[in-house]
């Protein structure tokens, strides 16, 4: 679940870079707002980001919850374009929502400020429920929301990135991509495929691209770096240093950049000013597109678009399987909520089997429980996809993006430096040295 989609060709402020899925413009959110935070009744307030169809799924979960908890009322608040600032404004005014959707790149800042409740005491009290969630879930997703020893959210949906591909274009070229993360292709195989799918007119104008990207380019390049054998930051949660200067990471980052600036199998930034990556892919003008499940509803069932999924490639120093980003959201409880017990009942429900089954059947999200992933509802919602293991195997092959309260400042530096490489103005090797030193300085703990 992502927001109105990032235009990956445009510079974005740090918080908007997290809008990989669900932040909605305030004008669109208005019809879903009730009286907002701070009403005098006993209703729980639930703050989340969503497109309209995603908000309706949230409402179905709430309605199902209230069948067994009729005494707990819930008022929804849909996020505007700057979720972090909106949250801080609410909480500074003493009107923090009771239940808060947590984004993996944003929650650490709220946890550091004492806004979010550490759920560990509640999980220890409900030990049987906690054990059931753990056994049916994925450690990587839970660990993404573990910061400084606290568990600040329970995961609710996975939105890591992968590759959409056009089955018809692949068949015409005699190509078959891998179907699961454990059987990934190499950088060389991927490059050969993008070249085979790229077609130019006699004038030199490209009429079909091998690859296009609907995500944030420097995030995407970092995923290629991680698929060459080294994580982006160490450790991923609460990092103390970046690995931008590692030759393996730089090689993967550069490989991604070269798809456009050297091999010309992907649009350059300037090429995407007039048409978006999803539009290119939807119109059959790109054989593959990098993105997440939040785009699935835009492609499924479309006439003249036979779509399926495949995985990211692995570099010479990576493997054996491919990896992706965690891309997870979770549900948190405000530390100062006067309704912690009621909020906990809803968080357990929404992240548990019933709430996850509703998410699975919607076709708008990838659930975080294995039982929901293996359900008929999830399969029926994705009946056009043959390579369903790209989704069901994604969480196990995920690695967290950096989780740090300093992310806003870090991301601003990363975007500037990364975009120079992606434009061809510098090589990835140039990210070493002073640039890496500056980022590491931001990660130093403050006293």
What DSSP string runs through 29-69?
HGGG--S-TT-SSSPEEEEE---HHHHHHHHHHHHHHHHH-
* Distance of alpha carbon 224 from alpha carbon 314, whole angstroms: 8
- Residues in the chain, how many? 447
In contact, 24 and 79? CB cutoff 8 Å: yes
Q: What is the pLDDT of residue 178?
A: 97
Quote the distance between the C-alpha of residue 309 and its chain's center.
16
Give the strand pairing for 44-48 and 74-78: parallel
> Which one-letter DSSP state was computed for residue 247?
H
The pLDDT value given to residue 35: 38
Residues of the chain with CATH 3.40.190.10: 14-159+326-373, 161-325
Q: What is the pLDDT of residue 269?
A: 73
| Dihedral angle computed from the Cα positions of residues 89, 95, 99 and 100, in that order, rounded to the nearest 10 degrees | 0
Fold of 14-159+326-373: D-Maltodextrin-Binding Protein; domain 2 (3.40.190)
Task: Quote the DSSP letter at residue 313.
Answer: -
What is the structure's pLDDT at 93? 79
The CATH T-level fold of domain 161-325 is: D-Maltodextrin-Binding Protein; domain 2 (3.40.190)
Angstrom distance (rounded) from CA 282 to CA 261: 23
Statement: the pTM of the whole predicted model exceeds 0.85: yes
Cα angle 95-152-231, degrees, rounded to a multiple of 5: 130
Helix (H), strand (E) at residue 414: helix 407-422
Alpha-carbon span 347 to 372, nearest angstrom? 17
Question: Which residues pair with residue 233 across a beta bridge?
Answer: 242
The pLDDT tens digits along the chain (447 residues) read 443 333 333 333 333 333 333 332 333 333 333 334 444 468 999 999 988 999 999 999 999 999 999 999 999 999 888 887 888 888 887 889 999 999 999 899 999 999 999 999 999 999 999 999 999 999 999 999 999 999 999 999 999 999 999 999 999 999 999 999 999 999 999 999 999 999 999 998 999 999 999 999 999 999 999 999 999 999 999 999 999 999 999 999 999 999 999 999 999 876 766 679 999 999 999 999 999 999 999 998 888 899 999 999 999 999 999 999 999 999 999 999 999 999 999 999 999 999 999 999 999 999 999 999 999 999 999 999 999 999 999 999 999 899 999 999 999 999 999 999 999 999 999 999 999 999 999 998 765
Cα dist from 416 to 26, 396, 425, whole Å:
28, 31, 11
Residue pair 101/329 in contact by the 8 Å Cβ criterion: yes
């Amino acid at each position: 679940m992502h927001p109105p989609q990032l235009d990956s060709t445009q510079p974005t402020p740090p918080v908007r870079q997290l809008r990989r899925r669900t932040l909605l413009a305030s004008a669109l959110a208005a019809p879903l707002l009730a009286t907002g935070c701070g009403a005098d009744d006993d209703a729980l307030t639930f703050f989340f980001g969503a497109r309209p169809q995603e908000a309706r799924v949230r409402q179905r979960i709430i309605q199902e919850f209230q069948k067994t908890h009729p005494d707990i009322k819930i008022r929804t608040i849909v996020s505007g374009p700057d979720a972090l600032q909106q949250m801080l404004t609410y909480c500074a005014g003493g009107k923090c929502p009771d239940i808060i959707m947590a984004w993996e790149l944003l929650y650490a800042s709220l946890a550091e400020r004492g806004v979010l409740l550490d759920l560990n005491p509640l999980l220890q009290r409900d030990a049987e429920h906690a054990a059931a969630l753990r056994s049916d879930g994925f450690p990587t997703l839970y660990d993404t929301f573990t910061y400084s020893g606290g568990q600040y959210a329970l995961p609710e949906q996975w939105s890591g990135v992968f590759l959409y591909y056009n089955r018809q274009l692949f068949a015409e070229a005699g190509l078959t991509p891998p179907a699961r993360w454990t059987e990934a292709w190499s950088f060389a195989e991927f490059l050969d495929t993008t070249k085979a799918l790229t077609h130019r007119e006699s004038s030199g104008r490209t009429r079909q691209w091998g690859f296009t990207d609907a995500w944030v380019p420097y995030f995407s390049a970092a995923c290629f770096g991680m698929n060459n054998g080294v994580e982006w930051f160490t450790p991923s949660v609460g990092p103390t240093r970046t690995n931008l200067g590692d030759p393996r990471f730089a090689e993967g980052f550069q490989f991604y950049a070269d798809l456009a600036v050297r091999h010309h199998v992907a649009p350059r930034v300037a090429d995407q000013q007039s048409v978006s990556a999803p539009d290119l892919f939807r119109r059959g003008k790109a054989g593959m597109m990098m993105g997440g499940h939040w785009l699935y509803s835009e492609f499924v069932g479309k006439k003249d678009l036979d779509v399926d999924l495949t995985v990211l490639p692995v570099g010479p120093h990576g493997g054996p399987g491919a990896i992706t980003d965690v891309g997870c959201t979770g549900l948190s409880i405000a530390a100062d909520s006067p309704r912690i017990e009621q909020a906990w009942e809803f968080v357990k429900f929404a992240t548990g089997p019933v709430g996850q089954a509703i998410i699975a059947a919607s076709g708008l999200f990838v659930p975080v429980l294995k039982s929901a992933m293996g359900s008929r509802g999830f399969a029926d919602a994705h009946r056009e996809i043959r390579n369903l293991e790209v989704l069901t195997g994604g969480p196990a092959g995920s690695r967290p993006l950096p989780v740090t309260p300093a992310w806003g400042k870090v991301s601003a530096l990363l975007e500037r430096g990364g975009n120079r490489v992606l434009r061809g103005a510098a090589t990835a090797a140039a990210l070493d040295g002073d640039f890496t030193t500056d980022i590491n300085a931001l990660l130093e703990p403050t006293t």
